[in-house]
Chain A
Amino acid sequence: MTSSRSIARHLPWIAVAGLGALAAGGMAIQRGEQVNALWLVVAALSVYLIAYRYYSLYLAHSVVGLDPARATPAVRHADGLDFVPTDRTVLFGHHFAAIAGAGPLVGPVLAAQMGYLPGMLWLLAGVVLAGAVQDFLVLFISMRRDGRSFGELIRLEMGPLAGTIALIGAFMIMVIILAVLALIVVRALADSPWGMFTVAATVPLAILMGVYTRWIRPGRVGEVSVLGLIGLILAIVYGQTIAENPATAALFTFSAVQLCWILIGYGAVAAMLPVWLLLAPRDYLSTFLKIGAIVALAIGIAIMQPELRMPALTRFVNGSGPVWSGALFPFLFITIACGAVSGFHALIASGTTPKLIASETDARFIGYGAMLAESFVAIMALVAASILDPGVYFTMNAPTALLGTTPDSAAAAVTAMGFPIDAATIAQTARDVGEHSIISRAGGAPTLAVAMAQIFSHVVGGKAMMAFWYHFAILFEALFILTAVDAGTRAGRFMLQDLLGLISPRLKDTQSLAANALATVLCVAAWGFFLYQGVTDPLGGVNTLWPLFGISNQMLAAVALMLGTVVLFRMKRQRMAWVAMAPAAWLVLCTGTAGLLKLFSADPRVGFLAHAAKFRAAAADGELLAPAKSMADMQRIIFNDMVDAALCLLFLLVVVSILLLAIRACLDALRRDAPSAHETAVAA
């Protein structure tokens, strides 16, 4: 009786598994012809549901043993402010909004150069076995320790040295993230007066919203966001008028280098303004726009049911791709960063969320579930990139060094890659989205915007609305990237002050205006350096910065999973610790290999040192290599390569030292007879 009932319980899940297998099978059979994107979406959703139902249950019950009777920090420290027991659906929204950013949208678009299949497989396998496990474990660990932050958790369980190393690593990751995000904005807005006007308009708009929420109608977030949204739509509509008039268009046309300096100046000023004036109101807009756009994209794909035009595998799996260099292993796993596994989530999962969980068992839905949702966003981005004409995709993402700058040269180059396209199609696509040119708009965001414009205009407005939707998509991405730049500069400043405090206590004083300004300027200078380097790179900058970002982000994930391993050993649950050890080992393998290749590969397109050597040899012969126009440029490129190499080496050292400290902590835990995890004691 009970056994038949318990089998019946699994029946719906067997049906879900069958559906997923059918969808995947459908894709496999139709290989060679064009596959409907809906198959991919259905297969992904089935995998998520099964993984959530079974694997996350195993993690929650057997591996860590969530205990509904154990009071959470939100209950024990309830203060109505920082610690508030929160409904789990509402908290899911809070947590998802905090983890979803530009990463899951951009990474899969870049990964599509190898075809949709490798990206799809890693997004699914990665999230189920690594990404969601990491988010869940960190949330669990922090929740059992009064909601402590990631750095504190590492210090607590692995010692002060590991804590400091992790802090340095996290700061460098922040710097690279800010640089790469800013680079995406630069690539999207360069020579685009329409885009530039709409994004620039968000600054006074946000300030008006800030004044409104501060004094006119304090705290009316929904109200002010509706007003802000109306302002945004007006900005997009008037942006077209601005762009069509040559006189006003000139005012908003900037080269990539000019935009780079504008962003650096903006970052420094914005990070020192009071938060209510610019940061908070723009965060409201960008959060709601982001969630709205994600939902709209899902609905759009379901209605349009587009065909995937990108092949399942392209010939670039061998590493010869124009968008980014390097072979499938390890570079695909570095390129698809956030949608599969993102180390940065360890900082979010040990931030505000653990202080709001009402019951321990909610951690499964929030930690594991929200990451599955993030992976689904990445799957949609992959679908979006793959429904484009592959010719258009490579026209937008290959560097100008390969394509030249005219539709004719680009069409010839992309056709030669094996993706036939004619110049008229390139020119027409640019006209459709209201831009002068779509050639070499690297960085992922513009590609996604073209795809979103195709999907949205299919549902609402037809071809006439395509330019509007393109700029809507650009605005939505730029808006939350700018929010991240602003908030990240602030957070980076605090991290830096913590680190500087180790040298001189006076620099740690967050009340001191001079210490704050110094830390802000240092932080902006750090990401500004990498941004400038990326903007002036003839290969588009993404080629250099995105792998650095991917390596650092995945390494942070490896560190988080090592923390999970140590905690499981300390809880005397080492028999189940493989759930964290296996993905940690895989990530160390991927990032270690990628880091070593970035350092020592003999191919100058991949290895920083080989690239530097090539330029050094040329400089010694008195030759100039593009993009250098003078010997000073040559020296600067060599210097940049050395900095990138040093950074890569630093990341490798961080991960190796944390690995050694984690092994030491595990051995220490094994030697003890009793559990040695530092959980906060809770009265029974």
Chain B
Amino acid sequence: MTNWLRPFRAARRMMQAMVGLPSYDAYLAHMASEHPDREPMDYRSFFRDRQQARYGGKDGGRCC
């Protein structure tokens, strides 16, 4: 695909990783290859699920 978009994609992925949001594409790829029988979450549900997992649990502690 268009090469000039690649740095922007990489920057976006990095920003998402910094706030603990995993890649949705990787999730879809995982579901397609491992659980083709199951319906994957749509992006909205995926985002909410990950937001709750990051901030709602014990791992919420940020460093000093």
Task: List the interface of chain A (C-beta within 8 A of B).
Answer: 78-82, 84, 86-87, 89-91, 93-94, 96-103, 149, 174, 177, 180-181, 213-214, 218-219, 221-222, 225, 275-276, 279-280, 283-284, 287-288, 291, 337-338, 342, 344-345, 347-348, 351-352, 356, 480, 483-484, 487-488, 490-492, 494-495, 549, 553
Q: For the complex formed, measure the closest distance between the CB of B31 and the CB atoms of chain A, giving whole angstroms.
A: 6
- In contact, A219 and B43 (Cβ under 8 angstroms): yes
Q: Which residues of B contact A181 (CB under 8 A)?
A: 64
Q: Which residues of B contact A97 (CB under 8 A)?
A: 17-19
Q: A221-B15, A338-B63 are in contact. List 13 more A-B contacts (CB 8 A).
A: A78-B30, A80-B22, A80-B27, A84-B27, A219-B44, A225-B15, A280-B55, A480-B62, A487-B61, A487-B62, A488-B62, A491-B60, A491-B61
- In contact, A284 and B64 (Cβ under 8 angstroms): no
- In contact, A487 and B55 (Cβ under 8 angstroms): yes
- Given A84-B23, A494-B57, A342 and B64 contact (CB-CB distance below 8 Å): yes
Q: For the complex formed, measure the closest distance between the CB of B34 and the CB atoms of chain A, giving whole angstroms.
A: 7
A135 to B43: give the CA distance in the assembly, Å: 33
Q: Which of B12, B46, B49, B55 contacts A283 (CB 8 A)?
A: B55
Instruction: Closest A residue to B8 by CB, please name it.
Output: A222
A506 to B64: give the CA distance in the assembly, Å: 31
Indicate if B56 sits at the interface (CB-CB under 8 A). Answer: yes
A78 to B52: give the CA distance in the assembly, Å: 19
- In contact, A283 and B27 (Cβ under 8 angstroms): no
Count, chain B residues at interface, CB 8 A: 40
- In contact, B58 and A149 (Cβ under 8 angstroms): yes
- In contact, A276 and B63 (Cβ under 8 angstroms): no
A283 to B29: give the CA distance in the assembly, Å: 28
Q: For the complex formed, measure the closest distance between the CB of A527 and the CB atoms of chain B, giving whole angstroms.
A: 13
Q: Which residues of A contact B51 (CB under 8 A)?
A: 275-276, 280
Q: Which of A82, A222, A553 contacts B64 (CB 8 A)?
A: A553
Instruction: Closest B residue to A98 by CB, please name it.
Output: B63
- In contact, B15 and A222 (Cβ under 8 angstroms): yes
- In contact, A491 and B48 (Cβ under 8 angstroms): no
A513 to B28: give the CA distance in the assembly, Å: 35
Q: In chain B, residues 8-24, which have Cβ atoms closer than 8 Å to a Cβ of chain A? A: 12-23
A345 to B28: give the CA distance in the assembly, Å: 31
A661 to B16: give the CA distance in the assembly, Å: 41
Indicate if B26 sits at the interface (CB-CB under 8 A). Answer: yes
Q: Which residues of A contact B23 (CB under 8 A)?
A: 84, 86
Q: For the complex formed, measure the closest distance between the CB of A101 and the CB atoms of chain B, giving whole angstroms.
A: 4
Q: For the complex formed, measure the closest distance between the CB of A533 and the CB atoms of chain B, giving whole angstroms.
A: 19
Q: List 20 A-B contacts (CB under 8 A).
A: A79-B30, A84-B26, A84-B27, A84-B30, A86-B22, A93-B17, A96-B18, A214-B48, A275-B51, A287-B18, A287-B19, A288-B18, A338-B63, A338-B64, A352-B54, A484-B62, A487-B55, A487-B60, A491-B58, A494-B60
